[in-house]
Amino acid sequence: MKISGAELFVKALKAEGVKHLFGFPGGVVIPVFDVLYSEPEIKVILTRHEQGAVHAADGYARSTGKTGVCLVTSGPGATNTVTGIATANFDSVPIVCFTGQVSRTMIGNDAFQEADIVGITRPITKHNYLVLDRRDLGRILKEAFTIANSGRPGPVLVDLPKDVILEKGDDEYPAKVSIRGYNPVLKGHPNQIKRAAGELKKAKKPLFYVGGGIHIAGAVEVFRKAVKKTGVPVVHSLMGTGAVPGDDPLSLGMLGMHGTYVANMAVSHSDLLFGIGNRFDDRATGDLSKFAPEAKIVHIDQDPVSISRNVPVEVPIVGDARQVLEQMLPLLEATKIDEWLEQLSSWRKEHPLEVQVGRDGNTGHLRPDSVIRTICRVFPDAIIATEVGQNQMWTSQFFTFRHPRSLLTSGGLGTMGYGFPAAIGAQFANPDKRVIDIAGDGSIQMNIQELATAVYNKLPVIVAILNNGYLGMVRQWQELFFDRRYSSTCLMTGAECPPQCKGPGDHCPVYHPDFVKLAEAYGAVGLRVMKDSDIEPALKEADRIKDRPIFIDFLVEREFNVFPMVAPGAGNTDMIFSEGGE
């Protein structure tokens, strides 16, 4: 039977089990939306910006492991997806993003709403396609879904010219494709696995270092078994959060720039660092010449590129983390490392995590750690999204993550404005769970238009704004490294302000904008919390609301910082614990 490209597209989505499509229409993709109009199996979610659509698909994918799908129009619709695609690419999130394109005969003519989106997204996608022949459409759609969610997952973009969308052609959507240049290695090499297990047995100060790959591979369960069996302690990267419960005695917390003292000390003194699904990213390692100087390194990763890139690896294992760990588990034995564990526990006691009092002491606003700890107490099993900056680091420090795939955060690219749309996507995928975006007042304003999406879909996403009136993380760097020259970081700077402001004063408004009124304007619930004793009641009130989003504006101390901190370029043991540099 002959069907249009648009009909084949919808057939492909159904065959792939796609239930939610995040999108925004425009001229060239009207025929696709037209087919979707009468398609009951696929819910089309209209976001208010294409970036929101991609982040929502991303949150959907991260919280479930299923492929997130979005559909936007050509030109500006396509270019608006770029940040979302790059975010997903950096954190290995399976997304298929469909963009409309002008008709084939118009391509290259600077037609209305034309953009070379395939050229633009080449370096930020796992792979991308421009469909130039209707006969290739079925195969390309299948390849896109196959590539996006296999091996090391990532975003795939498919650019669909308008005349390909309209052209009638065959209706075949292949059940399987074989791509000769793409054969991800899943099983680990048995000899390497034996070597790795042997190293773990020999080590006196072994340490697991896990990254996001452990969630992606679905390896959390088998990894927890390995930890239990061996008794080896664990540090994690930001993306590895939740691999072991945060309150597990063997969990040392996050390593790196804003990691825990014990995690950084452990890495720096271990004699065997056993990496799983991590990248040895610069925010985690600090100065490479001082990173894990005494350790042999074992590294399991799906992507050969990640292995021996930043640090030389003694025992590399290419493969899927779950399969490799399942192969390895029978070879693992309990270790005798009491001395090492004692050392770790004394480091842990030496510098526990706490929010320090700011330079000017507590000025009567909320403490960000109290807010996050209370969220954790009221919603211990929630899916947490974050924006980027202080809100993100405080969340990783003070929320105790116990479940896999429970933290949605832009780790690699560091995209402000990610959290709210990602939370919306996650709420669609997890209608029975609480989804909370812990935000800053800066980053929430980067995709605040998605309030409309959440309101119209009756999504009870809670947005907890840690409102300090600053772009807090940049301000923190200015305080510590630029003599408090707060250049362009105050979000309340007005004409009356002194020209070279170095901190809050009497002239400052209490808040701006009024997030409560803003939320109400969209039909959401807005709450403001200014007193410590109101934190929990506000969260409980939010918990009673099930049919619309809730914004809670927490007015927090304006100049509180994230500590401990490894200064950029310093070694991991070189940690700062307060403004004085102690």
Contact 299, 208 (CB under 8 A): no
435, containing H or E segment: strand 435-440
Binding mask 169-198 for other proteins (x = CB under 8 A): ---------xxxxxx-xxxxx-xx------
Interacting span for other proteins (CB under 8 A) from 63-71, 72-80, 308-316, 496-504: 308-316
Contact between 95 and other proteins (CB under 8 A)?
A: no
Cis amide leading into 155 (omega within 30): no
Among 55, 127, 134, 162, binds other proteins (CB under 8 A): 127
- Catalytic residue, candidates 14, 41, 112, 221: 112
Q: Please indicate whether residue 98 is annotated as part of the active site.
A: no
- Catalytic residue, candidates 446, 473, 565, 575: 473
Q: How far is CA 469 from CA 30, 104, 212, 362, 556, in A?
A: 42, 49, 31, 16, 9
Binding mask 389-428 for other proteins (x = CB under 8 A): ----------------------------------------
224, containing H or E segment: helix 220-230
Among 85, 317, 426, 508, binds other proteins (CB under 8 A): 317
Among 17, 198, 249, 312, binds other proteins (CB under 8 A): 312
- Residue 357: CB partners within 8 Å, gap ≥ 6? none
Contact between 316 and other proteins (CB under 8 A)?
A: yes
Interacting span for other proteins (CB under 8 A) from 285-293, 316-324, 406-414, 428-436: 316-324
Contact between 313 and other proteins (CB under 8 A)?
A: yes
- Catalytic residue, candidates 7, 16, 50, 450: 50
Interacting span for other proteins (CB under 8 A) from 120-128, 215-223, 259-267, 552-560: 120-128
Among 15, 30, 44, 118, binds other proteins (CB under 8 A): 118
Q: What is the separation, in whole angstroms, between the first and last Cα of the chain?
A: 74
DSSP at 67? P
Among 108, 293, 304, 364, binds other proteins (CB under 8 A): 304
Q: For residues 430 and 491, give the distance between their C-alpha atoms in angstroms, rounded to a whole number.
A: 34
Contacts 24+ apart (CB under 8 A), 46-50: 46/453, 46/456, 47/22, 47/23, 47/421, 47/424, 47/450, 47/453, 48/24, 48/449, 48/450, 48/452, 48/453, 49/24, 49/80, 49/447, 49/449, 49/450, 50/24, 50/77, 50/78, 50/80, 50/81, 50/84
Q: Please indicate whether residue 113 is annotated as part of the active site.
A: yes
Q: Please indicate whether residue 343 is annotated as part of the active site.
A: no
Interacting span for other proteins (CB under 8 A) from 198-206, 312-320, 452-460, 477-485: 312-320
Binding mask 197-236 for other proteins (x = CB under 8 A): ----------------------------------------
Contact between 328 and other proteins (CB under 8 A)?
A: no
Q: Please indicate whether residue 399 is annotated as part of the active site.
A: no
127 strand-pairing partners: 156
- 519's tokens: 């939320």
CB of 207 to other proteins, least distance (A): 21
Q: Please indicate whether residue 354 is annotated as part of the active site.
A: no
CB of 128 to other proteins, least distance (A): 9
> Where do the DSSP E strands lie in 277-321?
296-301, 315-318
Interacting span for other proteins (CB under 8 A) from 11-19, 246-254, 313-321, 447-455: 313-321
Q: If binding means CB under 8 A, how many residues of this protein chain bind other proteins?
A: 35
Interacting span for other proteins (CB under 8 A) from 99-107, 119-127, 236-244, 534-542: 119-127
Contact between 141 and other proteins (CB under 8 A)?
A: no
Q: Is the dihedral of CA 66, 50, 125, 43 positive or negative?
A: positive
How many residues would you count in the chain?
Answer: 582
Q: How far is CA 169 from CA 11, 133, 138, in A?
A: 13, 10, 10
Strand ranges of the sheet holding 20-24, from the earlier edge strand across to the other edge: 43-46, 20-24, 68-72, 95-101, 155-161, 127-130
- Catalytic residue, candidates 126, 142, 162, 205: 162
CB of 302 to other proteins, least distance (A): 11
C-beta closer to other proteins: residue 103 or 578: 103
Interacting span for other proteins (CB under 8 A) from 115-123, 470-478, 513-521, 558-566: 115-123
Q: For residues 115 and 489, give the distance between their C-alpha atoms in angstroms, rounded to a whole number.
A: 33
Q: For residues 75 and 79, give the distance between their C-alpha atoms in angstroms, rounded to a whole number.
A: 6
CB of 312 to other proteins, least distance (A): 8
- Residue 570: CB partners within 8 Å, gap ≥ 6? 286, 287
C-beta closer to other proteins: residue 42 or 132: 132
Q: For residues 484 and 475, give the distance between their C-alpha atoms in angstroms, rounded to a whole number.
A: 8
C-beta closer to other proteins: residue 295 or 408: 295
Contact between 289 and other proteins (CB under 8 A)?
A: no
- 464's tokens: 């907890």
CB of 304 to other proteins, least distance (A): 5
C-beta closer to other proteins: residue 299 or 365: 299
CB of 504 to other proteins, least distance (A): 42
C-alpha 472, offset from chain centre? 19
Find, among 408, 378, 412, the residue nearest to 395 by Cα: 408
Contact 98, 9 (CB under 8 A): yes
Which residues are marked as active site?
50, 112-113, 162, 473
Please give the residue ranges that form the binding site for other proteins (CB under 8 A): 118-119, 122-123, 126-127, 130, 132, 147, 178-183, 185-189, 191-192, 303-305, 307-309, 312-314, 316-319
